[in-house]
């Protein structure tokens, strides 16, 4: 089951990479804010699943920002960087033995791995919604900071929903 959670993002990223177009960075101030929020959430004892959602969102935001700084065509692709960050973060959690506990599961899956995977796709969903709304609006934004509001807003809504559903 864990293997399918790792292979699915790789297959989807290949498909997304083939259809992707160059993008602009996420807001660096927002990246720092989310990072500070994650540190605080961990200290407050918030469930690993919810924290993992936000760590993954932070990774994608950093990847989209970092992609604008890298001139290499392969590593300058924000989707590739996002999945690289995903893999490195999961490797860290596995190496430090923070995953794999039978007591830290949700729906039979490890909370950290499941949260990381879901958070990655939630953030991509937010980016897709932003781009799609621009396309429908003739390439114009609907409101200021839309590029930040959509991914963060969707992640907030789904975090609240998961909190209520799973009673975390």
- Three-state DSSP state, 54: helix
Q: What tens digit of pLDDT does each residue of 9-27 get?
A: 555 555 554 555 544 445 5
Q: How far is residue 161's CA from residue 163's CA, in Å, rounded to a whole number?
A: 5
Looking at the DSSP bridge assignments, the partners of residue 148 are: none
pLDDT of residue 142: 93
pTM, full prediction? 0.74
Q: How far is residue 8's CA from residue 75's CA, in Å, rounded to a whole number?
A: 20
118 has pLDDT over 60: yes
- Three-state DSSP state, 62: helix
R_g over Cα of the chain? 16
pLDDT of residue 167: 83
Domain boundaries, the chain: 8-14+26-166
Confidence class for position 97, pLDDT limits 50, 70, 90: confident
The total of other beta-carbon atoms located within 10 Å of residue 40's CB is 10
């Amino acid at each position: 089951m864990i293997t399918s959670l790792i292979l699915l993002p790789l297959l989807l990223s290949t498909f997304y990479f083939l259809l992707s177009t160059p993008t602009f960075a996420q807001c660096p101030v927002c990246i720092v804010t989310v990072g500070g929020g994650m540190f605080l959430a961990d200290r407050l004892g918030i469930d690993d699943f919810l924290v993992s959602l936000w760590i993954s969102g932070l990774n994608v935001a950093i990847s989209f920002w970092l992609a604008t700084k890298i001139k290499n065509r392969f590593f300058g692709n924000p989707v590739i960087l996002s999945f690289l960050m995903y893999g490195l973060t999961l490797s860290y959690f596995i190496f430090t033995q923070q995953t794999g506990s039978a007591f830290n599961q949700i729906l039979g899956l490890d909370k950290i791995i499941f949260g990381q995977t879901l958070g990655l796709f939630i953030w991509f969903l937010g980016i897709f919604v932003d781009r799609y709304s621009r396309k429908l609006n003739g390439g114009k934004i609907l409101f200021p900071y839309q590029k930040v509001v959509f991914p963060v807003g969707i992640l907030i809504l789904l975090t609240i929903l998961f909190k209520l559903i799973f009673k975390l």
